[in-house]
Amino acid sequence: MRYTTQFLLSAMSAEQFPAPDSIGAVPEIAFLGRSNVGKSSLLNALAGEKAAKVSSTPGRTRAINFFLLVDDRQRPRLAFADLPGYGYAKISKSISAEWPKFIEPYLQDRETLSLCVCLVDSNVPPQERDRQLIDWLRAVNRDFVIVATKTDRLSGNERTRNLAALRKGLGVAEILPVSSKTGAGIRELWTRIEEVGTKKQQT
Ligand SMILES: Nc1nc2c(ncn2[C@@H]2O[C@H](COP(=O)(O)OP(=O)(O)OP(=O)(O)O)[C@@H](O)[C@H]2O)c(=O)[nH]1
Ligand SMILES: [Mg+2]
Give the tens place of pLDDT for each residue, 109-140.
Answer: 999 999 999 999 999 999 998 999 999 999 99
Atom of ligand 1 nearest to the CA of 33: 19
Tell me which of 84 and 183 has the higher pLDDT. Answer: 183
Q: Which of 41, 60, 124, 133 for mutating ligand 1's site (highest number of atoms within 8 Å of CB)?
A: 41
**Is the whole model's pTM more than 0.85, yes or no?**
yes
For the domain spanning 4-202, the CATH number is 3.40.50.300
Q: What is the pLDDT of residues 171-202, one digit of tens each?
A: 999 999 999 999 999 999 999 999 987 665 55
The Cα 53–Cα 38 span in angstroms is 11
Query: How far does the centroid of ligand 2 lie from the alpha carbon of residue 40, in Å?
Result: 4
Poorest-pLDDT segment among 13-22, 31-40, 46-55, 174-183:
46-55
pLDDT at 91: 41
The Cα 67–Cα 79 span in angstroms is 6
pLDDT at 95: 54
Atom of ligand 1 nearest to the CA of 179: 31
Query: How far does the centroid of ligand 2 lie from the alpha carbon of residue 140, in Å?
Result: 24
DSSP 11-39: ESSGGGSPPGGGGTT--EEEEEEBTTSSH
Q: What Rg value do the Cα atoms of the chain yield, rounded?
A: 16
